[in-house]
Every structure is written in C-alpha cells, then in structure tokens.
Structure 1
C-alpha cells in the first residue's frame, strides 16, 4: 500500500473540521512519517498549534510536539507558548526538554505572573522543583493543575532565583525495612511479594514530593497513637511498624474502584465515618467496636476483627456501604491471607 504523501496529509489535517477524523489523520502522520520525517511532522504540528481551526486540538498536539522535539529544538516556539493561555501549561514541559536549566528564568517569570492561568503557574513551579531538586512542591498534590493559589511557594522560588538557581537535594525515598529483601516469615514473604509489585509501579511513575505505593518504616509517633488506642494482633502490628503503606492503591477488578490500604499515618483518621463521627466527636453506635478498618474499596470497608485474635493474627471482614445497615462477611481468615491476596492483585 502506498504511503500518503506528507504534503497531502498536511493539507487534510488543516482542512479537517471533525475532531475524530482529525485524530485519525494525526495518528497517520505520526505512524507513516514520524520516524523518517520527524522534523517535518513536528513543524506541521507546531503550525497547527499556532493557527489550527480546532482549538482543543491545538492544545492536545502539544504533547506530540514535545515528544517529537529533541533537546535544543523548538525553544522559540515553547517560549512563545508561555504567553498563550491554552498552550502555556504544556509549554513548560517543552521548555525543559528544549532548554533544560536555561528555561529557569522564563519559568520563574511565568510563575510570578498573576495574570497567567493558575494551572500554568503551578506547572512552572512543579517543573522547577523537579529539575532543580528544590522542595517547592513538598506536600502538594502530584498534579499541579489542582494546586491552589495560596500553595504557590512564589517567595521561595524568587529567593532561589536571587541566589543564582542553586541545585537542591530533592526528596529522599521513604525508608524501607531490610526484611523486604530477605523475607523469612509468612508475613515478611507476603509483604515482599506486594513490595515487588509496588516497586514495578513506582518505576513507571513516582514523585518523591508526595510518594505513593511504598511500604515504609512507620513514624514512631504514629505507632504510639495506635498502640494507645488498640491492642493489635502481632502480625498486623509488625506490618504497620515495618511495612506501613504510603498511599498504596491496588487497581483490580476484585475491588470496587480499587483498594486503598492504610498505613500508620492514616489509620486513626481512616475510622472516621465508620467507627467515629469526627463532627460530634462520638463513636458511631451502629459500628461493631471490635472492627478496625484497615482498607477500603470505594468506601466499602475491610476490617480486622480485634475480638477474634488468634496466634498473632485476626480474620478480615468486609461489607458494602450505603445499604442502610452493615452486613459483614468474612473475607479472609487472617491478615496474612489478606496481604497475600492484595499482593496477587497488585
């Protein structure tokens, strides 16, 4: 089959008014010509981002332009896009790919512009934090598009600029327990299996400003609050001490909307709405007081039965929320069994 000439696809792309057809033409351009005529395809997309008639596609093409551009290319285009509200958010990534640290000045200026889109200003600060290793994004949501104006640490950014853009130290990875590398007990082996799956997810996507999918050594202060409130089975207590989950989310069809597994830092708050009413500061009468919520799937709780501790472990029960009353069913005979199930699903 003959390959459609690049010029013909170029004309069709600019003439097309149907978004779905445009998407197919764009994909054809990339598939047929993206490798051998990379620069030509990149320039076509740049031209469309500047003046194409489908406004939403002018924005969507930015990710393709960034992918096609090599370091050192398209700096003028990405710089110009910083002044175009619809393109400025993605232009930040283009600036870094094209210019590296030479983009610092332009992106600090964008972050300081009160008339610019908040999402673009936040994206600039997030990018500066990642590239420089400075903690401008500490404790904030991974997606800067969700940051609030008061969360922009602009004073810190400007002070960093005045100091000559020094490199920071970034964020240290959470501390993990050595037994994950050499597990011996049934609990350790289950945790190690889960850690192996989580590590694969972290390699695909991880932002240490707000780490996720980690099994880490817990903060003693969090453990102290837990010990003061509950007498936990030995296996679950050791799990929290050595392998406390940090934003562990298991996306699997067996769990409605995915399973969130709680760590020591969030265990007390995780009881809110189930065992505890944070508004009235009272226990919820309908909740079995011996059930400790350790995970949830779309608000369906998974609970340890602290009244049935045996040999250092306890069974796990679950129930559907929103049914008018709780109807619990036994889900796993022990926490270790539950942990093995999670590890298999991750």
Structure 2
C-alpha cells in the first residue's frame, strides 16, 4: 500500500469521527515529487474512499509565492496542477498552512478536546504542561487561510510538528501517514477532558414551539445539552467560539427569553449586526434548529454541544469578534465552500 492510499484511509477514518472532524472541516495532505496533494475545499474527509477529494498543488511555486507575500496565495488556485486535476477541484482554504510545513504528511482536525482548550483566553499557559513532551506551538486566532499561515510561519521552528490553533483546532505533521496518525492520537490523549453527563430535553415543549414549521427539533439528543445544561448554555451564549460555527450556523446561538418565540430570538441577534443564528436554545428545555438546516449545520451543532460539555463554569472562554465573524461570512472562499453539496 502506498502513502496516498494510506492517507485516503486515514482521512476517511478521521473524517468519520465527530470528535475529530465535523462535516467539511479539517484537511489532510501529502507531499511527493514536488506536488502537494491536499483535500479539496468543501469536500468531506469521510468521503475519501468514495470519491476523489484531493487536489494537486505545485509546491515550489507556492512556497516561492508565500515568501514574497503574493496575493495568489489566498486562494492557491494559480498553483493547482491542472494536468492532474481532471475534476476541476479547488484547493482547501488551508493549503498555505499545509505548505508551511516541511513534513511530508500534515493533518489538520477540529478536535473537540483541543478546541475545549483552544477557546480559553489562557489557552497557551494551560496547554504548556500537557504538551510539554511534544515539539509544539500555540498560534493565536487568525482568519483561516493566508493570515493563519503567515502567523504560523512566524512561529514555526524546524522541529515543530504540533500546532494548537487558538479558537480553531489542531495540526500535526510527520514523515509518514502512520507516524502522523500516532502523533495525532498521542496529542489528543494528552488533551482529553471529561464531558459532563447531561439532563434530558423537554421534547413535548419543543414540539409545541416548532408547530409553526420554521424550526425543528434537533434530531441528535446530545445537541439539546446546549440548552438544558446551565454551564453549556452559559459558555455557548458568549458568542462564536470557532470559525466553522459561524460559517454553517450563523453567529453564536440565540437564547430565547421568557415568552419569546424562536424566530424573534434569532432576529434579535441579526438586528445587532451579526449573522442571524440557526440554532435557538430554549433554556431548560432544549434546542431548535432552522427548518431544513444542512448536514454541515447539524454536525456543527453537535460539535458545539461536545465542546461546551467539556468546559467548566469558570473556564475563561473567549469568542470571535464581530469583525472576525464578518470576515468569515463575507469571504469568497467560505461562500464557495458553503455552496457545495454535502454528498
């Protein structure tokens, strides 16, 4: 079995684990013979065995462009090897992040355990003792893509093979797929935080609130923890914790006030100048989602429940600013990613 086949197998395995990757999030890459094969924008890692999800990028021209701060590095479409890209796929928005590593294999995941640390205002200090055995670095939040890659390149040392991205996720790098997988699991084990047991949702009440047809009950029971667990609710209502949330679910969550219907709760957030959320928390009752939300939105709702279930009441979670939120929703690369079908 060659390394590309191994990477496809690992990508599918990682992509099927909601504690590591949600929907079209995360990306993997392989460098060989001057070409970097990277997951295409908008594709799902879990589909790696079912279809071609990798795009070939000419590595040396991309690295030279990065050195001169070429704006073409924003989309990286200029560096795609069209002779090997018969499907016309577009490279991941994280292509420059992967290219910044000299390592042959790079894995980027939106690991729930990692995010539960990475959203903290004191993340770097809290991570230091846990990641002491690794060659790691903490990268403060920057918009995914070129701004993130620029920050990484400032902090990357020759032996760095683990990155924790503030309010974002985890990157590991190695020379083989097997070594990258082993490193990924070692880092995740070092960052595990127990999730709280959750009370049950009030399904009859939620069904009554959803009778107008504009909202529906969250099908995954774990999502309701966002509203029925006071600590999860307190942390989630602070705002948008990481990029993919706003891309697929809108800004943060809407928390219905006493006597307020779900639609009014969502509109209230939109009137504040932030993208209207698709997730409505009914305190003590459960969660409603906008009718017909995408599979990606459902995956992100589950991710938020998983992350907040690991945060304590006193965790100093910090959220993306309004400027950060708008930079994501108005970004052409994210508009393209949202426009693609989920399957």
TM-score range normalised by the length of the shorter chain: under 0.3
Which structure has more relative contact order (CA 8 Å, sep 6+)? It is 2
Q: TM-score, normalised by structure 1?
A: 0.27
Higher share of residues assigned helix = 1
